[in-house]
Structure 1
Amino acid sequence: MEIEILTIEYGSKEYFDTLTLRNEVFRKPYGLDIKDDNLEEDKDMYMYGVYIEDQLIGTVFLKEKNKDTAQIKTLAILEEFRGIGLGIYIMKFIEDIARKKGYTKAFLTGRVYARSFYNKLGYKAISEPFDYKAIPHIEMKKTL
């Protein structure tokens, strides 16, 4: 199984493919639709698609939170590809990108059910759980 992580350009066909994937992973299970989201900030992010045999199976985005901190966003993996270590692989990839861009810290807002996954990668909670789109989330941070 060969994994490729490719840069996604805002507005490209591949970008619209990420919308479909993100909708499947993040919105449909909760009766929501990504078409209802304001996705304007996507154009200001570094976006990456994760491919296996030319099939988009995941995404991860990166943006600047402040001069020292990169914000990791939109880690999404299709359900049938979870549990095989891809999440760790993708997070290490995006953390390396953040380091190369000069960031010394990483910040993310993750779903509460994924907290232990992020803890294993060295992230620490910096907020109490809160609801975002009626789904419990938590803010987490890590020194890179």
Structure 2
Amino acid sequence: MSETSFDPILPQHMHTLILGSAPGKRSLATQQYYAHKGNAFWPLVFSFTKHVYTTNYEEKLALLTRKKIGLWDVFDQFVREGSMDHQFQSVTLQPLATLFEEFPLSLVILNGKTATKTYYTNLDSTRSQWLTLSCPSTSGANNRQQQFRQKQWFLAYQISEQINVLAQKGYRLYFGHTPFIWSHVTHLRTEVFIQEQGIQFNDEFDDLHTVDQFDYFLLMDHDTPLATLRFQTKDNQTIQPDRFCVAQGVRNQGIGTILLSLYEHYGKFLGYSSSELVAEYQALEFYQKLGYHAIDAPHSVDNILCQTVIKSFD
């Protein structure tokens, strides 16, 4: 018999959306997301937010609403023998593309392999302008991954919390390499590095500056770019933040600290253990306060005095 998933939980000003596959039997019977007592979803949420756990479903939803986190599933109609994801026999999909057009999301968290595979198979991820994190399933059948699952979900929650802090200021975080992101990144880098610091155009916009080669974090205040950071990796253990800049009018407001911390959490989520970057010497104190230390002598890069700094995530 065909079953139908629930309506989405879509808080006002939602910036994060969690997507599962479809409700299990217990959830269908109670008409509640993640109702099975063996599912770790709600215990994880209450643990990370440091709230006392409750069985009251309305209070659970209220907590997510306060955090501006929405819930939905990737499947709309489905036929499934039991409650396990491998038991799906036929499915129809939710209109996710329409929802993504309506809500200014900054983060999508995928709950389990089925949600992840369905998301990437049916949506053009090259057009997305938000971070996407694939977390281990919270299903009780996945308890053998309990320690790793808790670590990944906690990192995902920390990223969502940092996005929430920015959203409360009226800012939106973007991530990707769409023409929209690339154009605003180019504008801000021109303003900061070329016009303000006097770096030559060909030095600032190097061979790595292409539309589709690297993803960028971009923070916007409506139509105004505030800060950006290029996501790069040095090797399979070290992320390498690059082209980090904050608009002159919003410096010393903590924006750069939040953006770099968010970048680091994303790197940790992907399995990296350290961060290394070339810092302008005048900003060395900023990086030292965030746990970085210098590993070479001051040197010139594009006629700017710099120093390489590194930070371990251990």
Q: By the TM > 0.5 criterion, same fold?
A: yes
After superposition, give the CA deviation of every residue in 1:2-21 in whole Å (9 maximum; x if it has no partner).
222111315x1320221121
Please give the residue correspondences for 1:28-107 in structure 2 after superposition, counting only pairs within 5 Å: 28-35=195-202, 37-42=204-209, 43-107=212-276
Instruction: Verify: 1:134 aligned to 2:290, yes or no.
Output: no
Counterparts of 1:78 and 1:97, CA distance in 2: 23
* Paired letter, 1:118: Y
Preserved CA contact (<8 Å) 2:174 2:219: yes
Preserved CA contact (<8 Å) 2:177 2:214: no
Preserved CA contact (<8 Å) 2:220 2:226: yes
Q: Count residues with an aligned counterpart.
A: 143
TM-score, length-scaled by structure 1: 0.90
Partner of 2:199, secondary structure, is coil
Offset of 1:56 from its aligned partner? 1.3
From the superposition, tell whether residues 124 and 103 of structure 1 become closer, same or farther in structure 2 (CA, over 3 Å): same
Partner of 1:83, secondary structure, is coil
Aligned residue for 2:188? 21
Preserved CA contact (<8 Å) 1:3 1:52: yes
* Paired letter, 1:27: I
Offset of 1:49 from its aligned partner? 0.7
* Paired letter, 1:40: D
Offset of 1:35 from its aligned partner? 4.8
From the superposition, tell whether residues 60 and 130 of structure 1 become closer, same or farther in structure 2 (CA, over 3 Å): same
Instruction: Give the structure with higher Rg (CA).
Output: 2
Instruction: Verify: 1:109 aligned to 2:282, yes or no.
Output: no
Counterparts of 2:290 and 2:232, CA distance in 1: 19
* Paired letter, 2:195: K
Q: In percent, how many aligned pairs have the same letter?
A: 22
* Paired letter, 2:191: E
* Paired letter, 1:20: H
After superposition, give the CA deviation of every residue in 1:26-68 in whole Å (9 maximum; x if it has no partner).
1222333435545332443221111123421110112110110
- Tell me which protein shows more strand as a share of its residues: 1
Offset of 1:98 from its aligned partner? 0.6
* Paired letter, 2:237: D
Preserved CA contact (<8 Å) 1:19 1:34: no
Preserved CA contact (<8 Å) 1:60 1:72: yes
Partner of 1:139, secondary structure, is strand
Aligned residue for 1:119? 288
Counterparts of 2:198 and 2:261, CA distance in 1: 31
Gaps of 5+ in 2: 1-168
Counterparts of 2:180 and 2:200, CA distance in 1: 19
Counterparts of 1:107 and 1:41, CA distance in 2: 18
Q: Is the deviation greater in 69-78 or in 32-41?
A: 32-41
Counterparts of 1:140 and 1:36, CA distance in 2: 21
Offset of 1:105 from its aligned partner? 0.5
TM-score, length-scaled by structure 2: 0.43
Partner of 1:41, secondary structure, is coil
